[in-house]
Amino acid sequence: MNTYLEKFNDSVKNTIYSKLPIIEQEFIKEKSLELKFTFSEIKQIVDIARDLEMWNEKSIIKIFPEHEQKKVVFTRLKKVYEELRKKPNSYENFELKNIPKEQKYTFKTEAKEGFGLGLCPVASEKTRCCNLLTLDAVESCGFDCSYCSIQSFYNQNTITFDSSFAQKLKNLNLEKNKTYHIGTGQASDSLMWGNREGILDALFEFATDNPNVILEFKTKSDNIKYFLENEIPKNILCTWSLNTPTIIENEEHLAASLDKRINAARKVADKGVKVGFHFHPIVEYENYLDEYNSVYERLINEFEPSEVALVSFGTLTFIKPVIKQLRDREFRSKITQMPFEDASGKSSYPDATKQKMFKHAYESFKPWQLKNKQEDVFFYLCMEEHEMWEKTFGYQYATNNDFERAMLAAYANKLGMEFLV
Ligand code: SF4
């Protein structure tokens, strides 16, 4: 008959117990032997210990309740943990740990099976979605944003190029009398690799050969060299994912600074390319609305609405594999220290918090809501439930197709293209 210690050692095998500091491992073992926690309780205690370390909060040893009854101890521990999770985040005394200082990865070029063109990997009927088609020009990303779900799809240390990408793009047979919206910024960053393996040559040629395609490059980099040195087809959109300096410094590791991103967008816009800005994720922390407001104001001061095709808003949504991956990594991040609520099967902020941040964002861009077709900027929510549109914009689309049509019509208009339904 297994002793409790044997059971304990078995239980922790399927957890990240071994990644905890030794002193915390010893402490959890001692308390488990004393109070006889179940496997599920042990797993939760281990995850709590890991989250507290990741959030740079007091360690589990410091917050562990003293009581002789297991039930009381476990209930009180969960309560303290949930209070820490729900308290407004602050990056003031946040100390980063084990953050990569430089990009370390290997490049691989191989003939890939199939062709990475498909519906946006996170699109769903449960959310109001734009039916974006994503094109995987490169697999895996060289940046290291803590909240990124892509990292759970690919091996992060290997950046893979498809040796037959250009040929497959040439062979792509799209309908000529239909407008398409294709983005290359999902499986990797669209611009950080420049024209490595000729990917930008191939994509620019594709845009030129397919004037009915709106090709969106989405990036967190300032690598615009190719755009400055080459003729840019008019059906190309260049969009930047932006965030506050606080989030960029603490959660978007290795990506370009806010200044570099905005300056790159300014240079590309100066070449007559239509640009756009994605605020996704908007993250809640102390004074976040003021900090986001400074970024919104800066864009309004530095760009004309006629130069900007879109501004999108979105926020944190987590799937379990990403939370597990974050806990597995021994680094610091406050990104999961938030009150979780179910959002179409994923974990996200409560609706009230989302409504507040999205309404604030949209209202901050009042100067760009001009009701003049030529200048008007297209605003949208990414990956949000239908009702959140009404609460944010005062209107909502009845279907994803309606949303897609409105978006493509607005983009085509801004790009001076004919909109083909
Ligand atoms: S709204 Fe966002 S998640 Fe939905 S399809 Fe468009 S890009 Fe993808």
pLDDT given for residue 216 in this prediction: 98
Q: Which atom of ligand 1 is nearest the CA belonging to 121? A: 8
**Domain 106-415 indexed as CATH 3.40.50.1010:** no
Cβ of residue 383 lying under 6 Å from some atom of ligand 1: yes
Query: Do residues 7 and 35 touch, judged by C-beta distance below 8 A?
Result: no
Structure tokens at 296: 């919104």
The predicted model scores a pTM of 0.94
pLDDT given for residue 153 in this prediction: 61
Element (DSSP H or E) covering residue 322: helix 320-328
Dist. CA 150 → ligand 1 center (Å) = 14
Spatial distance between the Cα atoms of 253 and 250, rounded to a whole number of angstroms: 7
Residue 374 clears pLDDT 60, i.e. is over it = no
Structure tokens at 193: 């690799």
Cβ of residue 123 lying under 6 Å from some atom of ligand 1: yes
Q: Which atom of ligand 1 is nearest the CA belonging to 183? A: 7
Spatial distance between the Cα atoms of 42 and 62, rounded to a whole number of angstroms: 17
Give the pLDDT band (50/70/90) at residue 36. Answer: very high
* CA of residue 76 relative to chain centroid, distance: 33
> Beta strand pairing status for 384-385 and 127-128?
antiparallel
DSSP assignment letter at 331: S
DSSP assignment letter at 418: -
Cβ of residue 382 lying under 6 Å from some atom of ligand 1: yes
What is the mean pLDDT of the segment spanning 103-114? 86
Percent share of the chain, pLDDT over 70: 96
Q: Where are the alpha helices (DSSP H) in 210-253?
A: 225-229, 245-251
**What does the domain layout of the chain look like in residue ranges?**
2-86, 106-415
